[in-house]
Amino acid sequence: MSLMTGEEYIESIRKRKMQVYLFGKKVEDPVDDPILRPSLNSVRMTYDLAQMPEYEDLMTAVSPYTGRRVNRFTHIHQSAGDLVKKVKMQRLLGQKTAACFQRCVGMDAFNAVFSTTYETDRKYATHYHENFKQFMIYCQDNDLTVDGAMTDPKGDRSKAPHEQADPDLFLRVVERRPDGIVVRGAKAHQTGALNSHEIIIMPTISMGPDDKDYAVSFAVPMDTPGIFMIIGRQSCDTRKREGSELDVGNAEFGGVEALTIFDDVFVPNERIFLNGETEFAGMMVERFAGYHRQSYGGCKVGVGDVLIGAAAVAADYNGAARASHIKDKLIEMTHLNETLYCCGIACSAEGHPTDSGNYIIDLLLANVCKQNVTRFPYEIARLAEDIAGGLMVTAPSEADLRDEKLGAYVEKYLKGVSGVSTENRLRILRLIENLTLGTAAVGYRTESLHGAGSPQAQRIMIARQGNLQHKKELAKTIAHIKE
C-alpha cells in the first residue's frame, strides 16, 4: 500500500469502531464531533505533508526492512541524520498546526521497543523482536498511526505495582493462555489514542521480580474488545460547540487526551513484546523517555514559533511594535525557543547505534532538552501574554461582534491601529489565548511540564548520565592532585 492521503486517513479512522466517552455519554461519531475533530485534523497534517514533494525528505524515509518509502512516524532510526530529521519534522508540524499532532509518542515507542526486544531475546531466546518487526512492517505497509502508552495511573506513588491496594492501578497480565495473555488496567493522559489505529503498551517504571505481571509490552488495535476511552476536559473546549471560529482561536487544529481503559483485553502471542522479563522494563522506559524528551525539542519549538509570531502581530495591531521593551521581549522569546531547538538537534547529532542497529539519542542531552522545556515555554507564554495585553482574556464574543446593535460598539472601542480591522485584532488575541490558556495550552504549556515525565524524572536521569566522577578526575588532573 502507498502512503495514505489525509482524506484516506480520516476515512480509515471513521471505519474503526472505537468506544469513546465524553461528558458522561458515548460519542457515536468521534470523527465529526466538533470538540474532537480538531485533534484529528492535526494528525491528518502528518499525512498531508507526506504527500508534498517539498517535504518528502523530512516526512518520509525508505524502510530498510521493506525497501519501500514510509511515513517517518513509522520509521526505525538508521543514523544520527534520521534523528536530526525527526526533530526538524516535528518543528515543521508544530508550525503548521500550532497544536499537538500526536504521532511522536508512537514513533518513540517504535524505536524503544525495537532495541529493547532485541536485547531481551538475546538473553532469554524469546521471539519478541521478530514479533515487533512484523508489527512494525504491518504499520509501515498500511501507513498506520500508532499511539504509545506508557503512563499508568500509579495510585500510591510510594508503593511498587504489586504493593498497590488495587492491583489494577498499573496495567497487568491477569491471565496467561497458550494463545496469548489477558490484560487489565488503564493508561492515563493518552494523547492521540482517539485518532490512532493501533496502540503500543509499555511499562511505566523500572520493576523488580515481584512485579512480573506488570512487566508487559504489546500492541493491539484501538477498537479491540475491552478497550474504551474517557476523554479529558480542556480549558475552553466547549467553545468548539458554539460555532464560532473566532472565539476558539485555533479552530482547525488541536489535541485530545484520554484515560484509556483495558477491561480484560486479549492479546495474541504474536503481538507480545515483553511478558514478565522485569529487568528489561527499566530499559524500555529509559529509552522511550529519552526519545520522547528529544521530541520536545522539535514540536514545542514549532508551536513556539507560532506563538512568537502571534505576539509580534499583536504588538503590530496594538501600535506597540516599535517600543524597545516589546522588541526585547520578542528577542527573549526567540532566544528561549531556539535554545530548545539547539538541545533537540544536539542530542540527535550525538546519537549512536544500539546493539539492535537502530540509533538512539544522547540520553544526557535529551534529558537536558526536556528539562529546559519544563521551563522555557512558561516564560515564552508569559511574555506573549504581556505583549498581547488584557484584552486577550476580556474580549467580547464573536456573537457580540456580529450583533446588530452591539457590533458597532465592539468595532469602535476595540479598534487598534488604523488599517487593521477590529476582527483581525480579536482573532490574533484569541489565538494567543488558545496557545497559552485554552485547549492548545494542554499541548504546549502544561504538557511542557508533565509530558515525557516530570521535571524530577529528567533531573534523576541527568544525575545518572552526568558522569560526575569523570568531571572530578578532570579537575584533580588540572590541580595536580595525587591521591
Q: What CATH code is carried by the domain that includes residue 24?
A: 2.40.110.10
Cell of 198: 493501533
Residue that is written with C-alpha cell 483581525 in the block: 424
* Residue 271, burial from CB neighbour count under 10 angstroms (0-12, 13-18, 19+): buried
Residues 329 and 403 placed together within one structural domain of the fold: yes
Binding residues for FAD: 191
Question: Does residue 206 belong to any structural domain of this protein?
Answer: yes
The CATH number assigned to the domain holding 361 equals 1.20.140.10
Residues whose CB falls within 8 Å of the CB of residue 73, separated by 6 or more in sequence, listed in order:
46, 103, 104, 106, 107, 145, 146
Residues whose CB falls within 8 Å of the CB of residue 43, separated by 6 or more in sequence, listed in order:
9, 101, 102, 103, 145, 192, 195
Residues 352 and 456 placed together within one structural domain of the fold: yes
The last residue of one of the domains, among 279, 306, 333, is 279
Res 1: pLDDT? 62
* Residue 28, burial from CB neighbour count under 10 angstroms (0-12, 13-18, 19+): exposed
The last residue of one of the domains, among 242, 260, 279, is 279
What is the residue range of 377's domain? 283-473
Residue type, 304: G
Res 443: pLDDT? 83
Res 265: pLDDT? 98
State the greatest distance between any 2 C-alpha atoms of the chain, in Å, as a whole number. 86
Residues whose CB falls within 8 Å of the CB of residue 17, separated by 6 or more in sequence, listed in order:
223
Positions marked active-site: 100, 104, 191, 257, 292, 296, 299, 447
Binding residues: 191
Question: Does residue 341 belong to any structural domain of this protein?
Answer: yes
Residues 143 and 157 placed together within one structural domain of the fold: yes
Residues 186 and 250 placed together within one structural domain of the fold: yes
Q: What region does 214 belong to: left with phi over 0, alpha with psi -120 to 50, or beta?
A: alpha
Q: Which of 480, 429, 434, 104 is nearest to 252 (CA)?
A: 434
Q: How many residues does the chain have?
A: 483
Residues 255 and 325 placed together within one structural domain of the fold: no
SS (H, E, C) the chain: CCCCCHHHHHHHHHCCCCCEEECCEECCCHHHCCCCHHHHHHHHHHHHHHHCHHHHHHHEEECCCCCCEEEHHHCCCCCHHHHHHHHHHHHHHHHHHCCCCCCHHHHHHHHHHHHHHHHHHHHHCCCHHHHHHHHHHHHHHHCCCEEEECCCCCCCCCCCHHHCCCHHHCCEEEEEECCEEEEEEEECCCCCHHHCCEEEECCCCCCCHHHHHHCEEEEEECCCCCEEEEECCCCCHHHHHCCCHHHHCCCCCCCCCEEEEEEEEEEEHHHEEEECCHHHHHHHHHHHHHHHHHHHHHHHHHHHHHHHHHHHHHHHHHCCCCCHHHHHHHHHHHHHHHHHHHHHHHHHHCCEECCCCCEECCHHHHHHHHHHHCCHHHHHHHHHHHHHCCHHHHCCCHHHHHCCCHHHHHHHHCCCCCCCCHHHHHHHHHHHHHHHCCHHHHHHHHHHHHCCCCHHHHHHHHHHHCCHHHHHHHHHHHCCCCC
The last residue of one of the domains, among 221, 245, 279, is 279
Residues 146 and 189 placed together within one structural domain of the fold: yes
Residues 231 and 314 placed together within one structural domain of the fold: no
Residues 307 and 399 placed together within one structural domain of the fold: yes
Dist. CA 93–CA 253, nearest whole Å: 11
Res 442: pLDDT? 83
Dist. CA 53–CA 378, nearest whole Å: 35
CA dihedral 138, 173, 447, 155 (to 10 degrees): 180
Residue that is written with C-alpha cell 465529526 in the block: 32
Q: If you compute the radius of gyration of the chain from its CA atoms, what whole number of angstroms results?
A: 24
Residue type, 105: V
pLDDT tens track, the chain, 483 positions: 689 999 999 999 999 999 999 999 999 999 999 999 999 999 999 999 999 999 999 999 999 999 999 999 999 999 999 999 999 999 999 999 999 999 999 999 999 999 999 999 999 999 999 999 999 999 999 999 999 999 999 999 999 999 999 999 999 999 999 999 999 999 999 999 999 999 999 999 999 999 999 999 999 999 999 999 999 999 999 999 999 999 999 999 999 999 999 999 999 999 999 999 999 999 999 999 999 999 999 999 999 999 999 999 999 999 999 999 999 999 999 999 999 999 999 999 999 999 999 999 999 999 999 999 999 999 999 999 999 999 999 999 999 999 999 999 999 999 999 999 999 999 999 999 999 999 888 889 888 999 999 899 999 999 999 999 999 999 999 999 999
- Find the distance separating the first CA and the last CA of the chain, reported in whole Å: 66
Residues 191 and 273 placed together within one structural domain of the fold: yes
Cell of 483: 591521591
pTM: 0.97
Question: Does residue 427 belong to any structural domain of this protein?
Answer: yes
Domain count, the chain: 2
Residues 329 and 258 placed together within one structural domain of the fold: no
Res 446: pLDDT? 87
Question: Does residue 478 belong to any structural domain of this protein?
Answer: no
